Amino acid sequence: MKHDDHAALVALDWGDQTHASARQRAGADGIERGEIAATPEALHAWLEQLGQSHGGRPVALAVEAGRNALLHARLEHPWLTLYPVPPATSARFRKAFTPSGAKDDGPDAAVILTLLRTHRAQLQPLVLDTPATRELAPLVAARRGAVDQRTGTANRLGRVLKGCFPQALTLAGDDLTKPLALAFLRRFPELAAVQKVRPATLRRHRSPLAATLPKIEITA
């Protein structure tokens, strides 16, 4: 299979909780599969790693059309050639691969990769050199800066909590960027505040640990 000048062909199947990926490197027969958490940070880190693993050489990435987050990615990673796949097209191919019509992220990523590999000439790469996309570029850069700032702030908060209130990282959840975690910390800024309430109160905050609180003694 000829990759032309691309170091790899990659497909991404978008999901609510995770995105499934399938990659075929130039000159290789096997397909590498993986999963990415459905967060901007995880997607950005995955793209950074993808670019580094191929030394910044061109990579073709196919994904169902309408995923605007990938438009941002295309602007941030010029080595990436993005191929939006019409949902109806991927659905027809999925039906051919799975006649039952059942949708599963793993096979779908492989289906989209097959589309990219065998029908790339019929797919139109995303072209961003338009007045609208040039205007969008600084907004994308600002968005990336805001995401990086949020990640940095959450990491610093996590380090502080590890030192003075490590139980919060279990009770509030590992992702301190989520509104639920921040609401928990506003309501319970220290361990003493947690120890004063009943388990039912914590359940109302949807703590991951709430269901097991009767079995656990929370100590300093």
Q: Which residues, 6+ apart, have CB-to-CB distance to 37 below 8 Å?
A: 17, 18, 19
Report d(CA 175, CA 191) in Å as an integer: 19
DSSP string, 150-174: HHHHHHHHHHHHHHH-THHHHHT-S
| CA dihedral sign of residues 193, 195, 200, 204 | positive
Residue 196: pLDDT band (50, 70, 90) is confident
- pLDDT, mean of residues 128-142: 68
Report d(CA 121, CA 117) in Å as an integer: 9
Give pLDDT tens digits for 71-122. Answer: 667 777 889 999 988 877 877 777 776 655 555 544 588 889 998 998 888 8
Structure-token pair, residue 49: 């790693």
Q: Domains for the chain: give ranges and CATH numbers.
A: 8-128 (3.30.420), 132-215 (no CATH)
Give pLDDT tens digits for 52-83. Answer: 999 989 999 998 877 766 766 777 788 999 99
- pLDDT, mean of residues 201-214: 54
Q: Tell me, what amino acid is at 96?
A: A
pLDDT for res 206: 53
Q: Is the pLDDT of residue 2 over 50?
A: no
Residue 23: pLDDT band (50, 70, 90) is very high
